[in-house]
Chains A and B, each alone.
Chain A
Amino acid sequence: MIRNSAAEMAAKLNTGEITSVELTQLHLDRIASVDTDVHAFLYVNNEGALAQAAEVDSKRAAGEKMSPLAGVPLALKDVMTQKGVPTTCGSKILEGWRPPYDSTVVTNLKKNGIVILGKTNMDEFAMGSSTENSAYGPTHNPWDLSRIPGGSGGGSSAALAAFEAPLAIGTDTGGSIRQPAAVTGTVGVKPTYGGVSRFGLVAFSSSLDQAGPCARTVLDAALLHEAIAGHDPKDSTSINAPVPQVVAAAKSGDVKGMKIGVVKELNGEGYQSGVRTRFEESLELLAAAGAEIVEVSAPNFEYALAAYYLIAPSECSSNLARFDAMRYGLRVGDVDGASAESVMNLTREVGFGREVKRRIILGTYALSSGYYDAYYGSAQKVRTLITQDFNKAFEKCDVMVSPTCPTTAFKIGEKSNDPIAMYLNDIATIPVNMAGIGGMSLPAGLAPEDGLPVGFQIMAPAMQDDRMYLVGAALEAALLSKWGAPLLSKIPALAGK
């Protein structure tokens, strides 16, 4: 049962083959069995999840009209507030904090009867590509426990691959939904910026952050996308327009006559050979499904990584100023006569990890007088050039595609002392965030040389998110008929308890 898709689970809930309480308990049991090895969860809300499931069951029994995913369990990235449930963002500075309010994403999940199992591990404040930057220890990739599950949303992606949850919420600032999806053989979607409310998403880089669905199939991602998306007056950057028809697109998967643009600059040198093999194979399958493959060029993408590592730290240095030890979270050094400034200094020294400090200092520098134009100002200009590259390319194609990441999952500890090597993971995912458009990663198979999952990235113009689901569903169907079973059927069994 736990290996079913969310849509299959929903169908069985509808026919009464299983109740939500039973389904939730199965997942809680699975978490209890395997999460000591995987460490996808920072907090498991046994009681809360079962209470929510019981409520859905009683509504269904009373004959109420149910949402498509009602009663299906989900794992929530620990960057999203849920009232009364610990929310740490993977940081010591928020240890023990129980937010007094629900994020809009959580409000929408509850409204749809989606059962929240608990909070998933992440790089501290979503800064990282491996989940090694969590103050609570790393998450392990279920494909190979000695490897990273991607980041920052490695807890959410690992929970899906370990069958601890069929659905998860992620957030994507530079690839934190898509890269974890790629290295765990799961599906992750970063919607158009403004498509899903950021209210209650603890901010890292406000002009880049976007919450989105994580799942094991394209249709499941679409169902979850529809459940959480839409305009929210509590987020002034939320788009006041109808949600793109993503579920219909995922059900159709018709790509006949669609033009798919292969980004010349996001392939070739620096990309692992097995990643390229799987990418080329996916292109052939899409062509066989009736799409036209064209080449597009985005010459400024090579500057995206540099611009990102100025813009995101700049915004984070401002956003993380809220952790001042005054109103919530950790407070250190509050002794008689200590000044507020010394309490802040000591609290932030103890409460923040190495990468967070590194980025706050970098951002403080990039925004400081005398350097602002050379760094932050220049990065903003690169952002314009990247958006122009996308606009020009989308004149020639309906979607753009690339490998999601240059390599498969690396070993835990392999890159943790080399920030630049770590940052290179996000080279293909960052341009999407810079332009505020949509991006999806779905599994393209295993790299022959190491047997680890490879991700295929689809990028669509703003508010045309349905196009990603059309192409994603087409590719998923073609690969499934080639493999005979979903990719995750090949994942090694976890020993469990």
Chain B
Amino acid sequence: MTSLSRDDVANLARLARIEMSDEELVNLSKEFTVILDAVARVQEVAGADVAPTSHPLPLRNVFRPDVVVASLTPEEALSGAPSQEESRFRVPQILGEE
């Protein structure tokens, strides 16, 4: 049986950029014991001789003609922005201060 501790879930939540309360972390770690047990069944039949399928269509390098078509105007592109400044998305600080 695989299990995930509260701290394991906290680490995954950090990687997934989701703030979680202690209660949520504890609940998820309990649920994951059950869920992982159920999904781990795939290992029963996934032998080394079976090729993986990532996609139903065997596609490779799909091209279209390189022609200019209409695209969004800056106003349209910014229409849903939570915050904007001088026709640009205004975002919180990304790099630490030097």
Contacts and interface: CB of A to CB of B under 8 A. Distances in A.
Contacts of A349: 18-20
Contacts of A436: 55-57
A339 B93 contact: yes
Interface in B27-51: 28, 31-32, 34-35, 38-47, 50-51
A348 B28 contact: no
A381 B57 contact: no
Interface residues of B, number: 51
Given A99-B80, A236-B59, A381 B92 contact: no
Interface string A322-342: 001111111100100111111
A387 B59 CA distance: 16
Given A303-B44, A328-B81, A330-B82, A360 B89 contact: no
A436 B59 CA distance: 13
Contacts of A362: 32, 35
A254 B19 CA distance: 57
Interface residues of A, number: 72
A98 B59 contact: no
A207 interface: yes
5 tightest A-B contacts by CB? A436-B56, A328-B80, A380-B52, A331-B82, A378-B46
Nearest to B9: A361
Contacts of A334: 82-83, 92
Contact of A361 (B12, B50, B89): B12
A245 interface: no
B87 interface: no
B93 A381 contact: no
Interface of chain B, main secondary structure: loop
Given A98-B79, A309-B35, A329-B80, A364 B16 contact: yes
B19 A348 contact: yes
9 contacts: A101-B76, A305-B38, A326-B89, A329-B82, A334-B82, A334-B83, A338-B92, A339-B96, A374-B40
Given A306-B41, A339-B94, A384 B52 contact: yes
A337 B28 contact: no
A326 B17 CA distance: 13
Given A100-B76, A334-B82, A380-B52, 6 more contacts: A306-B39, A352-B18, A360-B16, A375-B40, A387-B56, A462-B56
B34 A420 contact: yes
Interface in A42-73: none
A300 interface: yes
B25 to A, nearest CB: 10
A188 B40 CA distance: 31
A300 B18 contact: no
